Amino acid sequence: MGLTLSLVGCARPHVSPLAPPPYRAEIGAAYDVTWTALVRALAKQNLPLRAIARDSGVIATDDVVTPIGVYSDCGRVGDEPLEGEAVVTFTVFAEPDGAATRLQINSSMRTQAHRKGSSGSLKSKPVYSCASTGRFEANLIDTIRDAVKH
């Protein structure tokens, strides 16, 4: 028992990144034009879709494995950032707003295989929650805005 407590006392804590609020944007185009651009943008990124419902304005991706740091920030253990792979999913909500369309993108992310820093082998346990870097969302919105201009 004493040995267990001494080992736990020396373990470095995991510091989770702060989760940002859902990503929100307004597209200066009608709902039908924006929806078409949204579907095409997701198709160009070759994201697997779990659900798509135009009438309710919801698109949900299936799980996608990406390198930690690209779309996700998975925090650090002690002074070492987590590296490896994360599983990410995105849910996009589209809503008409007169001549414009409002979009909200929610994300869910967790580690799949990680290590502390750049050394050591990848481990699947424990699983850590991750936060979005905002890169996917910003790129998606930029792609949609460019598409509705043309």
Residue 1, domain member (yes or no): no
Length of the chain: 150
**Tens digit of each residue's pLDDT (9 = 90 or more) over 135-148:** 999 999 999 999 99
Residue 69, domain member (yes or no): yes
Closest by CA to 97, choosing from 23, 42, 24, is 24
**Tens digit of each residue's pLDDT (9 = 90 or more) over 37-68:** 999 999 999 999 999 999 999 999 999 999 99
Residue 109, domain member (yes or no): yes
SS3 126: coil
Residue 7, domain member (yes or no): no
Residue 131, domain member (yes or no): yes
Question: What's the total number of domains in the chain?
Answer: 1
Bond preceding residue 17 cis, omega within 30 of 0: no
SS3 83: strand
Which CATH number is 142's domain given? Answer: 3.30.530
Q: Which structural domain range is residue 76 located in?
A: 15-149
Residue 99, domain member (yes or no): yes
Q: Are 123 and 115 in contact (CB under 8 A)?
A: yes
